[in-house]
Every structure is written in C-alpha cells, then in structure tokens.
Amino acid sequence: MVLATVCAVVYGTADFFGGLATRRSRVLAVVVLSQMVGLVLVIALLPFLPGTLTTGTLAWGMASGVAGTAGLVLFYRALATGVMSVVAPLTATASAILPVLFGLATGERPEPVALGGVVLALLAVLLVSRGSSPAATAGRSYGPILISLAAGAGFGGFFILLSQAPEDGGIWPLLGARLASVTLIALLALITRRSLRPGSGALRIIIAAGALDMIANMLFVLAQQRGLLSLVAVLVSLYPASTLLLARYVLGERLNTVQVVGIGFTLAAVALIAAG
C-alpha cells in the first residue's frame, strides 16, 4: 500500500499546481497542455517499463481516458471558481466511493481492519472538506460543490475502467488514456474556439501539474495491480491532505480545527489499511 500512499501525495501536489494554473490561464488551456505533457512523459517511459500492448489494453485505457477527461475538466473548473481546500476533498470523496462499491460488488473482501480504515478515510476527506474559514464556508455557492461531486464521479470511473485493463499491460493503458483525453480536449477547444495559449507565468506550473499527474497515474496502475481496488482507490483519495497543506503554507489558506482533525484521521486511515 506504500505505492498508493505515495500516489496520493503526488496527486495532491499535481492538483495544487493545476489549481494555481487555472487562476492564470483558461481551464481548457491548462487541461490540454498538462495532458500533452503527460502524453510525452508516458511515451518516453514506455521503453523502460515492462508491459504488453494489446487491443484490450488500449481500449480500456481509452475508456478510462474519456471518464478522466470529463472529471479533469470539471475539477479544474471547480478549482477556478471555488475554494481549493473545499473542492479537492469533495472530489476525492466521490472518486473513492465508486471504486469501493465496485470492488465490493465484484467480490473483493478486505480484512475488517482495512474496512475500518476505509470508513475512517471517507470520514477524513469529509472533515477536511470543511471550509477554510467561517466566511468562506458561508459565502460559497453550491455550483462549485456540485461540479466537484461530478468531477469525483469522473475520476472514480477513471479508476474503475483503468483497473479492468490486463495486468500484463504495464503502463500501456495510460497511453490510450492520454491519447483519448488529448484528442477530446483539443476537439472541444476547436469547437468552442477557445485559446490554448497559457497565461503569463503559467507554463511552468502547467508542465509541473501535467508531469506529476502522469507520475501519479503510473503509481496508481502499479498499486492496483498489486492490491485490491477498493483499498487502493481509498488510499489514493486521501490526496486532498497534501493539497490542503500546500494551500495552507503556500497560499496562506487557513485550516480550522475540524480540518486538522481530518488530516489526523487521514494518517490513521493509512495505518489501518496498511495493517489490513
């Protein structure tokens, strides 16, 4: 479960950079450019990582890419219009619930201790989703919240579909996922005639977000090949803890007592799931 935990940290850092980028550039520009960075990275690493290319591998990857693209566009939209320390945990909660339900429905039976960690993890992301201040909580609209939940459903679908790819596929499914996502977003930008030019000072942030996101995807593939989807997805869903801490120390967003407790629950959940 170490891979899944590291994956959560990297995802949270990638989302932090993505959120910063959306405040300086259009959402579509951030998504397209970051996805292209991820595509270049996965192509560069394919020769060095084991894996077998099959039609099924690419098909599952492309299907997951469609779901992930929908989730990513909605997520970046929510980050651009809402409070980062609220959007990320809500998205994570929704993205964790779907794989857990899918895993249990398809026969996965985690140990009781690990299931206790799952419950604690879901509680943790709910706690850290509390507004960073009373004023922020009172003033937020339901628009970003609903968008965050829809984004989480897209990410949950991404995890489920990606887990269905053959285990001997290595990271080849991620190539299919990136090809699908880059194509869809580029077409969307073309149809809507949106500029893909990054804002001033945003390009390096976008590159960092795209590279970290792909690294996190690779870690997820490796983790779910070695563990139960219902546990791996929950551990990965704890990524808002790192997003939250970065938002606190880089952007100065304040943490309330409930959020601090939630971060503590996050650490406890990781320990329980690892013990199980």
pLDDT the model gives residue 131: 54
pLDDT the model gives residue 271: 72
Q: Which residues of the chain have pLDDT under 50?
A: 132-139
H-assigned helices in 164-202: 172-192
pLDDT the model gives residue 274: 61
pLDDT the model gives residue 77: 80
Q: Which of 229, 183, 146 is nearest to 65 (CA)?
A: 183
Provide the token pair at 252.
């100065």
pLDDT the model gives residue 136: 45
Is the Cα dihedral 176, 146, 86, 23 positive or negative? positive
**How many CB atoms lie under 10 A from the CB of residue 121?**
28
Identify the domain containing residue 235 by its residue range. Answer: 2-275
pLDDT the model gives residue 150: 92
pLDDT the model gives residue 197: 82
pLDDT the model gives residue 67: 94
pLDDT the model gives residue 209: 92
Distance CA 273, CA 113 (A): 7
Encode pLDDT of 250-267 as tens digits: 877 776 787 778 777 777
Provide the token pair at 98.
């779907």
Cα–Cα distances in angstroms (integers) from residue 121 to residues 33, 155, 199, in the given order? 32, 17, 36
Distance CA 31, CA 80 (A): 12
Say how many domains are in the chain: 1
